[in-house]
Amino acid sequence: MAQRKVLVTGASGFIGSFIVAEGLQRGYQVWAGMRGSSSRQYLTDPRIQFAQLDMGNPERLRQQLGALKAEMGGWDYVVHAAGATKALHREDFFRTNTDGTRHLIEALQALDMVPRRFVFVSSLSIFGAIREQPYPYQPIRLTDTPVPNTAYGESKLAAEQFVCRQEWLPWVILRPTGVYGPRERDYFLMAKSIRQHVDFAVGYRPQDITFVYVADVVQAVFLALEREGVEHQAFFLSDGQVYDSRRFSDLLQQHMGTRLVLHIKAPLWFLRAVCTVSGTVNRWMGKLTTLNMDKYHILSQRNWQCDIEPTRQLLGYDPQWPLERGVKETVSWYKQNGWL
């Protein structure tokens, strides 16, 4: 049987690099789709083949894909994991997350390079705070209407809507909640803070948070590629558990062995003020910042529950990494790689 071929866009990113590694482990021919300027730090396996793709320029993208088609024919599968989680301006999210997705799909169609399965890695953020209700909160379900409250979520939703209109394309959409693990830098900021004996949280209402370890996201990606009969469906991804706002930081503290951590809980108005000032100043300076109004909406949201039962039943998804196991492995990687 011919070796299966897969293109992974965003291959230099956190999730994308793990998808590449798993594809190689499973015996795929793996093409790492990325910009020419992207880092190859986690893409050193000599079996990886690289595809330089400019998804911001549709004409250039078609030329690049056309050359690849002439060279190797095309791919059995495409995993579209490329995207921007931070941007200086609102329109930058749409340029990368929405237009980039549209350009890739239109080029694949125009060049007759339609894969057997197209997996789009989206985000739970497309739903925003639709379940801001009295406690106890209820999980977001597939039947709920997305109402994103961040520019990132809006751009991902717009990309999803375009994907869903392509009836000719055998697509599957994955919507992970907060993804953590080795190489991820946003949650690492919390580890750095705890190492300095400070844990900062906001809001006084109960907060239900969900997480998914990167290896479980990768598991879902390959189920979405290989499982029959799941085309034209979307799935939530989490580890199946719900945590309070302290659980992640408590586990970091435990596995880092940090004592005497000062836990500070600030009101939401304080976070909003900090994010407003930080976002404005850094836009003036042309610098990306973690603290901006998108981040405010994410941190202030009280309910991140999502219903993964359809993912279990239809996709065969079986999360293997509860938070305690995932945080322990992540902290171990931080230490081994000199991050801590």
**Which CATH number is 109's domain given?**
3.40.50.720
Please check whether residue 34 lies inside any domain of the structure: yes
Q: What is the band of 132 on the pLDDT scale with cuts at 50, 70, 90?
A: low
Q: Is the pLDDT of residue 97 over 80?
A: yes
CA distance 327 to 243: 13
If one counts every other C-beta atom within 10 angstroms of the C-beta of residue 148, the result is: 20
The mean pLDDT value for 11-31 works out to: 97
**What rounded mean pLDDT belongs to the chain?**
93
Q: What is the band of 20 on the pLDDT scale with cuts at 50, 70, 90?
A: very high
Q: According to the model, what pLDDT value does residue 130 have?
A: 62
Please check whether residue 127 lies inside any domain of the structure: yes
Q: Provide the token pair at 7.
A: 């293109």
Percent of the chain with pLDDT over 90: 79
Q: Is the pLDDT of residue 215 over 80?
A: yes
- The DSSP line for 237-276 is E--S--B-TTHHHHHHHHHHT--S-EEEEE-HHHHHHHHH
The mean pLDDT value for 139-143 works out to: 93
Is the CB of residue 35 less than 8 Å from the CB of residue 100?
no
Q: Which residue has the higher pLDDT, 85 or 99?
A: 99
Q: What is the band of 167 on the pLDDT scale with cuts at 50, 70, 90?
A: very high
Lowest mean pLDDT among 109-118, 294-303, 308-317: 294-303
Q: According to the model, what pLDDT value does residue 166 have?
A: 98
Torsion sign (Cα): 164, 169, 172, 178: negative
Query: Which range of residues forms the domain containing residue 123?
Result: 5-181+211-240+305-320
Q: According to the model, what pLDDT value does residue 321 have?
A: 98
Please check whether residue 282 lies inside any domain of the structure: no
**DSSP H or E segment with residue 90:** helix 90-93
CA distance 34 to 208: 35
Please check whether residue 94 lies inside any domain of the structure: yes
Q: According to the model, what pLDDT value does residue 1 have?
A: 62
Please check whether residue 269 lies inside any domain of the structure: no
Instruction: Tell how far CA 188 is from the center of its chain.
Output: 15
Q: Is the pLDDT of residue 245 over 90?
A: no
**How many structural domains does the chain have?**
1
Within 8 A by CB and 6+ apart from 183, the residues are: 14, 17, 18, 42, 214, 333
pLDDT digits (tens, 9 = 90+) for 34-57: 998 899 999 999 999 999 999 999
Please check whether residue 117 lies inside any domain of the structure: yes
Please check whether residue 108 lies inside any domain of the structure: yes
pLDDT digits (tens, 9 = 90+) for 230-244: 999 999 999 999 999
Torsion sign (Cα): 270, 199, 202, 83: positive
pLDDT digits (tens, 9 = 90+) for 280-312: 887 788 877 777 778 778 888 888 999 999 999
pTM for the full model? 0.94
Q: According to the model, what pLDDT value does residue 288 have?
A: 75
**262 has which bridge partners?**
198
Percent of the chain with pLDDT over 70: 99
Q: According to the model, what pLDDT value does residue 221 have?
A: 98
Lowest mean pLDDT among 83-92, 105-114, 142-151, 272-281: 272-281
Please check whether residue 67 lies inside any domain of the structure: yes
Lowest mean pLDDT among 46-50, 68-72, 132-136, 218-222: 132-136
CA distance 92 to 336: 35
The mean pLDDT value for 256-274 works out to: 89
